[in-house]
Structure 1
Amino acid sequence: MVEGLLQALVDGLTIGVVYVLLAAGLSVIFGVMHVINFAHGELFALGAYFALAMVGPFGGYGFFAALLVAPLLVGLIGVGIERYTVQPLYGRNPLYHILLTFGLVLVINDLIYLVWGPGNVSLAVPAVLSGTVTAFGLNASVYNLFIIAFGAAMALAVWALLEYTKYGLIVRAGSQDRQMVRNLGIDIDRYYSLVFGVGAALAAVAGIILGGYQTVSPEMGMSVIIPAFVIVVLGGLGSFKGAVVGGLAVGVIQTLLRTYAPILEGMVIFLLMIAVLLVRPHGLFGSEAPEGEGGGDLLTGSGGVLAPDTRRRLGLAAVGLLALVPLGAGTLYSTYAVTLMVEILIWGLFALSLDFVMGYTGLVSLGHALFYALGAYAVAISLAHVGGSAFVAIGLAIVLSAAIAWFVGYLSIRVSGVYFAMITLAFAELFYNLLFRLEITGGSEGLFGLSAYYGLAGVGISLEEVAIFVGPVALTGQSLFYYIALATLVGAFLLTRRMLESPFGAVLKSIRENEQRATFVGYETTVYKRRAFVISGALAGLAGGLFTLNAGYATPSFAYWLHSGEVIVMVILGGMGTLYGPIIGSGVFFGLEEVLTEFTERWRLVLGTVFVLFVIFLPQGLVSLPAQLEPYVGGSGPGPKPEPEPEPTPDDSSVRGDD
């Protein structure tokens, strides 16, 4: 028993040291630059692959050369990323850094696939690091001991750099109060590229030593980035000490749970993350961000150059054209077009749900896939265990998603900014891990082979048994469901637009523009944001439920964090804060995927590049493109833009803060 515990502790310290190196760079980058770098995991993977390329020609002893050269190369890449992508976003809301680096995840991950291909590859280590050492009845791998010693030395060196050098003094001062550093005449911005490069190099070192311990694969970056965020949140965003303590703690806890309580592995650390964010959002060793360090607001779209009546007519025309899609299937184009359009409509509803809370209250949810998956599983479980009624299943999905959204919102909206994004991510990852462990959800396999009828109490029809003839075209099955999805999306759009035109919507817009002013007027902004979050969660659950009704299955992958990122991509591509923009973004996303997959499997590389360019140069999305081009099309050339009219402040007589 004691020997097993000691073995688990050694293994936990081995992984913990890797986490320390990974999280230290992530934490220092945030501390100085206030950048949450989702691409940090891909830089971790790049380090391992660069080492693999060096070890191949030179053999095992090339491993030591790789430990020196590969981090330098990845550090240079980090400097380039900061200078050419992150730097243009300084002065904007820090949440734009999350959006940007998510796009970089897609780009770098697909580049790894493109260059090195899929599959796991072993990274050869020198013979001197092989074998085991026996002491006190414990068999310890030499390589494990090397990781612990080398990682500890690296962490100590970084600590000494930050603690005893002029560079470290400026970095620490900048992490505490950047404005004070500027007032002293020091251009802290000049240090940003170097900080980002050092953080990237540390990630590369972690990737190399973990690659020798396990294997190297294109997915290794995505598998470690979430634990890395857990660590920096637990220890404190911006705290090097917190990264060390958090990394070692998470490594040991994970290993002990894997050994003695595997059912809890992957869940306890997210519960800890949620608890810390609720009690002490800046972490155990972090410090609260000074006032004014939050950056600007999230940029939202507008009506562009078109009048409201013109937009309304265009919207009606678009719905009319969409209604014609099934009529041409099988003659003008393949029936697959209907299947693709159903997916676009469902994800358009999902994107609209996120836009309702992100575009109108400024809350960026990195865990919105939780509600999509919740709706999908509510429908699946209802069809499998309650009855085959689609109406009952969808009703259950909406109610359950709204209830969980209220619970998550009640806890999460106590914090704001990047902390809100992190806590929603934690809830989604908690649910994602839970899906693998519950028997009722089908575990890792999910639930398949589901069918539904449209009716109640056993009385109804199946879409496969109905055919509606429109001239020579017979609408049945998938074609009929297409109209259900279209009607649901149009109904959700009209409902949310009506809400936003009401006094409730006016309060949401005032929160987005200036929450502090809305609070001074007398509105309980937390209450309004929570209500918006509940509506958003219910609509996301409806989207997930529609997908399961159509596809007949639900799997844990629905709750994977990458899906939360993909729906954010759709919102930004189309135009945040417009409701219809994210629907357009859904069409562009899946349209690009469909076109690009005909030429390459690495379509995410192109899509990620497009998204990065949008975040930098067109943050208000496609809906703002006409307004951007108007000066050039009109021949007047670029000129000063008119000042936007301020949002009207809600009238106290029309809405109360305690409604």
Structure 2
Amino acid sequence: MLVEGLGPAFLDGALAIWIERLLNGLTVGVGYVLVAAGLSVIFGVMHVINFAHGELYALGAFFALAVVGTLTPIFGGGIAFVAALLIAPLLVGLVGMAMERFTIQPLYGRNPLYHILLTFGFVIVITDLIKIIWGTANRPPIPRPDVITGPISILGTTVNTYSLFTLAFGGVLTVCVWALLEHTRFGLIVRAGSQDRQMIKNLGIDIDHYYSLVFGLGAALAAIAGIILAGERGVSPGMGGNIIIPAFVIVVLGGLGSFKGAAIGGLFVGVLEESILKVFFSEIAGMVIFFLMIGVLMVRPQGLFGTELEEGGGELLTGRGGGFLADGTRFKLGLAMVALLAVLPLLAGSVFSTYYVTLLVRILLWALFALSLDFVMGYTGLVSLGHVLFWGLGAYVTSVVLVHATASAFVALAIALALGALVAWVVGYFSIRVHGVYFAMITLAFAELFYRLVQDVDAALGWELTGGSDGLFGISSYYGIGGVGIELDEIALFVGPFSLTGTELFFYIALGALVAAFLITRRMLQSPFGSVLVAIRENEERARFLGYDPTVYKRRAFVVSGVFATLAGSLFVFEQGFVTPGSVHWLKSGELIVMVLLGGMGTLFGPILGAFAFFGLEEALIEYTDRWQLVLGTIFILFVIFLPRGLVSLPEKLASLVSERGSNEPEPEPTADIRPGEDD
């Protein structure tokens, strides 16, 4: 007997709804499969994690939009759409092959983590190129042929015909790629090359050519996914950034390098998102996915179907030993630079605009943030893609305390630093269990989890804590405790004819924090603790044989790094008076790594120099173009390839080039020294 109210009509309706949700999930899942499959194939063959894969996905959608727009008036929508499915992936595949041939291929002898850094540079470049060519406005879905547009009735439910096309086309394409890799000579060679590149070269096979083709194939698959999903969702410049994180979730779940894992993981995540999570966990759907990703990385880092990744050869190239000044001279130069910076606010309003004091404060805070990452990346070799978590934690905890508890800056800062240390220990406890690429992935997952948390926690719990997607604004504070203290805007200090107030006074707080952080970390690295960190970075196995536990030392370094990053985020709120979820986006971690590498990691002062160079270039380029990120991204790519030790190594690099050039000049022939009476 049916329960009252649950008659056949109701059950039929519920079944139809679930069929529709399942079909939507499979449709989205097929798009995920194509994106993740390309990403996984590239990694499986070349051990390259391509962070620009999402931008290639977006590039495919925009190329298709251009092809359809050009050909529709001539041949009609049906032929134009088919042509776009052929032409756009081919173009993107050629772009991918060029990327691999001219930029990635020279890095194969280095640490695989340089591929992450390089492809992040392409994220910046391609995103800006898309905005230059197609603008910043969102576009409607790509026009589709009538034959795959409109509803159709299946099993008593109305189904979108385009969803069926996506399932069929994506499924057939996936099987074809699998067959290509498993049952052809091409697949045999690339699989053998992934196992032993040198052996394939010794057989007389140009494996570099095959690598370029594989990278082009992966890029083309991403482009096809972009076209298919853009036919339903529309086209936007930010679509690449929106897809890359789910793609990483999928390849982590299925297994880095596993084509089967990418296929199963893509369908699983698509169905999970569109059915179960939207129905039962709609408020925290984004967080559930990242909990799952973190759990898999901790229990089985290689994923469900992947194999254990051997740590690639090559070290992370630091700027230590590549400097152009002795330690004592460099320290004196640093003191002179601090003294010069301390004078600058006095000149604001008379010699230059007060805007530059605000800019310098921003640079100092990011320099502190970059220094914090260098402490863990440059001295232990741990590349954290989620370090923005601690910046965001400092900013949000400080903001929440100031808005909901007390306006005391001291109390808010103390709570933020305490929580920053605690969270850094917890994240480090779980993350440092894995190594290399897996560590980078799990820190990224923790950062994305926090990013989702600050957006969704208010709606999920009915609170008004973080401000949701809008953030918190109008935050004010005083420097004191218990209601006794001062606000910087209410006081003024006079130094001769100059006055300091507000931002000018905060400048000295930021400068003092940076100098203190530098001296503290420098002292720590000169201690036995620092010596062990360097030993772990150089040869972790040897450090373990000497009786040191690398995990314990790495975790301690990670906590120190997290605390200083939290401090930078807290100071940001004191100065800016607001915080938004954009402050915690994973791209901020990428920008941070750009600064560290730009200046020279493993030096402490190099990342500070990198922060000044990054924002200095931005400020100089903005004067001439709105697309300054294109130039900056290109510079970063060139640095990764040609100057991986950063700006601190530039003088030595130039000196070596000059000396090499001088040594190649032909020496003058010796003059014959013939004395009278001697034979010629």
Q: Aligning the two structures, in what range does the TM-score lie when normalised by the shorter sequence?
A: over 0.9
In the alignment, which of 311, 317, 327 is matched to residue 330 of structure 2? 311
Distance 2:423 2:315 in 1: 28
Show the counterpart of 2:231. Answer: 212
Matches within 5 A, 1:465-504: 465-504=490-529
2:149–2:162 Cα contact (<8 Å) kept: yes
Residue 181 of structure 1, CA deviation = 4.7
2:119 maps to amino acid: T
Find out whether 1:48 has 2:61 as its counterpart. yes
1:527/1:179 CA distance change after superposition, 3 Å? farther
Show the counterpart of 1:63. Answer: 81
In the alignment, which of 318, 323, 329 is matched to residue 300 of structure 1? 318
Q: Deviations over 1:124-181 (max 9, x none)?
A: 1111111111111211111111011000010010011011101112223334554665
Show the counterpart of 1:225. Answer: 244
Residue 634 of structure 1, CA deviation = 6.5
Q: When the two structures are superposed, what TM-score results if normalisation uses the length of structure 2? A: 0.92
Distance 1:110 1:397 in 2: 35
Distance 1:325 1:307 in 2: 27
Distance 2:610 2:344 in 1: 19
Residue 391 of structure 1, CA deviation = 1.2
Show the counterpart of 2:673. Answer: none
Distance 1:442 1:33 in 2: 43
Residue 190 of structure 1, CA deviation = 3.1
> Which deviates more from structure 2 when the two are superposed, residues 125-134 or residues 171-180?
171-180
Distance 1:211 1:44 in 2: 10
Distance 2:421 2:379 in 1: 18
Residue 93 of structure 1, CA deviation = 0.4
Backbone CA RMSD of aligned residues: 1.4
In the alignment, which of 476, 479, 488 is matched to residue 451 of structure 1? 476
Show the counterpart of 1:553. Answer: 578
Distance 1:12 1:180 in 2: 43
Show the counterpart of 1:390. Answer: 409
Residue 389 of structure 1, CA deviation = 1.1
Find out whether 1:34 has 2:47 as its counterpart. yes
1:178/1:277 CA distance change after superposition, 3 Å? farther
SS in 1 for 2:539: helix
Distance 2:134 2:62 in 1: 8
Distance 2:497 2:479 in 1: 25
1:8–1:259 Cα contact (<8 Å) kept: no
1:70 maps to amino acid: A
Find out whether 1:584 has 2:602 as its counterpart. no
Show the counterpart of 1:279. Answer: 299
Distance 1:602 1:491 in 2: 36
Q: Deviations over 1:94-118 (max 9, x none)?
A: 0000000000000001000000001
Residue 309 of structure 1, CA deviation = 1.4
Residue 2 of structure 1, CA deviation = 2.2
Matches within 5 A, 1:200-279: 200-256=219-275, 257-279=277-299
Show the counterpart of 1:14. Answer: 27
Show the counterpart of 1:124. Answer: 143
Matches within 5 A, 1:366-405: 366-405=385-424
1:358–1:364 Cα contact (<8 Å) kept: yes
Show the counterpart of 2:133. Answer: 115
1:470/1:634 CA distance change after superposition, 3 Å? farther
SS in 2 for 1:437: helix
Distance 1:295 1:189 in 2: 18
Distance 2:253 2:659 in 1: 54
1:79 maps to amino acid: M
Show the counterpart of 1:596. Answer: 621
1:109/1:502 CA distance change after superposition, 3 Å? same
Residue 636 of structure 1, CA deviation = 7.0
1:364–1:417 Cα contact (<8 Å) kept: yes
Show the counterpart of 1:655. Answer: none
1:102/1:635 CA distance change after superposition, 3 Å? closer
1:279 maps to amino acid: V
2:496 maps to amino acid: G
2:534 maps to amino acid: K
SS in 1 for 2:499: strand
| Percentage identity across paired residues of the two chains | 65
1:547 maps to amino acid: F
Matches within 5 A, 1:401-550: 401-439=420-458, 440-550=465-575
SS in 2 for 1:300: coil
Matches within 5 A, 1:627-646: 627-632=652-657, 637=662
Distance 1:57 1:82 in 2: 30
Q: Deviations over 1:354-383 (max 9, x none)?
A: 000000000000000000000001110111
Show the counterpart of 1:78. Answer: 96
Q: Deviations over 1:526-546 (max 9, x none)?
A: 000000000001110000000
SS in 2 for 1:474: strand
1:631–1:638 Cα contact (<8 Å) kept: no
Residue 7 of structure 1, CA deviation = 1.0
Distance 2:597 2:351 in 1: 32
2:218 maps to amino acid: G
Distance 1:181 1:270 in 2: 39
> Which deviates more from structure 2 when the two are superposed, residues 365-374 or residues 554-563?
554-563
Distance 1:188 1:636 in 2: 33
Q: Deviations over 1:478-517 (max 9, x none)?
A: 1000000000000000000000000000000001111111
In the alignment, which of 630, 634, 656 is matched to residue 609 of structure 1? 634
SS in 1 for 2:457: coil
1:289/1:176 CA distance change after superposition, 3 Å? farther
> Which deviates more from structure 2 when the two are superposed, residues 384-393 or residues 46-55?
384-393
Q: Deviations over 1:46-70 (max 9, x none)?
A: 1111111110022222010110111
SS in 1 for 2:485: strand
In the alignment, which of 563, 568, 574 is matched to residue 599 of structure 2? 574
Q: When the two structures are superposed, what TM-score results if normalisation uses the length of structure 1? A: 0.95
1:463–1:476 Cα contact (<8 Å) kept: yes
2:369–2:568 Cα contact (<8 Å) kept: yes
Show the counterpart of 2:107. Answer: 89
Distance 1:541 1:107 in 2: 29
Residue 637 of structure 1, CA deviation = 3.6
Distance 1:533 1:2 in 2: 50
1:634/1:238 CA distance change after superposition, 3 Å? closer
In the alignment, which of 354, 372, 378 is matched to residue 373 of structure 2? 354
| Runs of at least 5 residues in structure 1 that lack an aligned partner in the other structure | 640-659
SS in 1 for 2:456: coil
1:632–1:638 Cα contact (<8 Å) kept: no
Distance 1:545 1:340 in 2: 17
SS in 2 for 1:100: helix
Distance 1:266 1:631 in 2: 51
Select the structure of larger CA radius of gyration: 2
SS in 2 for 1:265: helix
Residue 638 of structure 1, CA deviation = 6.7
Show the counterpart of 1:343. Answer: 362
1:175–1:238 Cα contact (<8 Å) kept: no
Q: Deviations over 1:586-630 (max 9, x none)?
A: 111111111111222111100000000000000000001111112
